[in-house]
Amino acid sequence: MKNTHRDKIVVIGAGNVGEAIAYTLMVRKQANDIVLIDVNEDRAKGAAIDIAHGTSFHKQVWVRQGGYEECKDAQMIIITAGIARKPGQTRLELAKTNVSIVRSITENIMKYAENPLLLVVSNPADIITKAVQETSGLPGNRVIGTGTSLDTARFRYNISTKLHVNVEDIQAYVVGEHGDSQVAVWSSAMVGGFPLEDYAKQVGVTLDKKEIAEHTKNGGAEVIGLKGATFYGIAMSVSNIVEAIMKDDSAILPAACVLDESFGEWAGVAVSLPCRIGWEGIETCLRIPMNEEEQAAMNKSVAILKDFWAQVKEQ
């Protein structure tokens, strides 16, 4: 359980995503000491000062720029650093570049931190989560990837708009890869305690599942095409995971982690499933009920990630 009176969170990477995360953590009062680390120290300092200026309207929170030594006593370290995919760049090329960056970051973290709790946001999320866990040598439960947390949020939002119901009443998950092979799990989806199909039938709505799943999968690309980047959605997703940890909630949330031997052929792969999350990180990773089609899609997603990692680690 928590044994400190000062909640300190370090955010590594002060780009759009890192800055949005730091701002969200401040507004939601989830830490009283937020440190931004970036190779561009001026960018990190500017972001910290900008956010700190707003605390006079809100709540006293220390927001500042710092170095890796700040990781020593942080309750949590959030990794957002990495480059965005460039035109003509393959997904594999991006992965190799960002894995190299994040491995260096992880090594710097481990110089100062003992048994840290790491939350990985950098893309490609599943591959980076695996790289951080392997490089750090930490147990799987101490390295949490955001994985399909934002995909799940988009999925629930898209369902709620079709059914004209509060998004908080939607219980549905996207699992597998945070990418093209992700799996929208329809068979166990619920609406306010009702099976999704039963609720839709009662209110006279026919759901185009394929269209909703595609819209969910392509949600990030749509936003990037319209405004050039996504950062608010992922910031709220990260904040949701942070809250479960800082409050020791034992909340069940979709997240990525390197699966242990109990998962058989999936073992050793970083992939998203519903997880119970609390102060020590991932308390347990859960097998979500799936029909045969969804199970086959999940097996395929894991196989894709396993093959992708085999290519990346060869660099």
Is 264 annotated to bind ligand?
Answer: no
299 assigned binding-site residue: no
Residue 146 known to bind ligand: yes
- The answer to whether 50 is annotated as binding is no
152 is in an annotated binding site: yes
Cα-Cα-Cα-Cα dihedral sign, residues 107, 43, 121, 215: negative
Measure CA 70 to chain center: 22
Q: Binding site annotation covers 126?
A: yes
53, 58, 178, 215: the active-site residue:
178
Asked if residue 18 belongs to a known ligand binding site, the reply is yes
123 annotated as ligand-binding: yes
Angle (CA) 185-190-192 rounded to 5° is 155
Q: How far apart are CA 79 and CA 84, in angstroms?
A: 14
The yes-or-no answer on residue 215 being catalytic is: no
208 is in an annotated binding site: no
Q: Is 210 exposed, middle or buried (0-12, 13-18, 19+ CB in 10 A)?
A: exposed
Strand, helix or coil for residue 170: strand
DSSP tag of 204: T
φ/ψ of residue 115, rounded to 5: 50, 50
Three-state DSSP at 290 gives: coil
Q: For residue 151, say whether it is annotated as part of any ligand binding site.
A: yes
Binding residues: 13-18, 38, 43, 68, 85, 91, 98, 104, 121-126, 146, 151-154, 230
Annotated binding residues for substrate, written as ranges, equal 85, 91, 123-126, 151-154, 230
Name the binding residues for NAD(+): 13-18, 38, 43, 68, 98, 104, 121-123, 146
Q: Which residues are catalytic?
A: 178
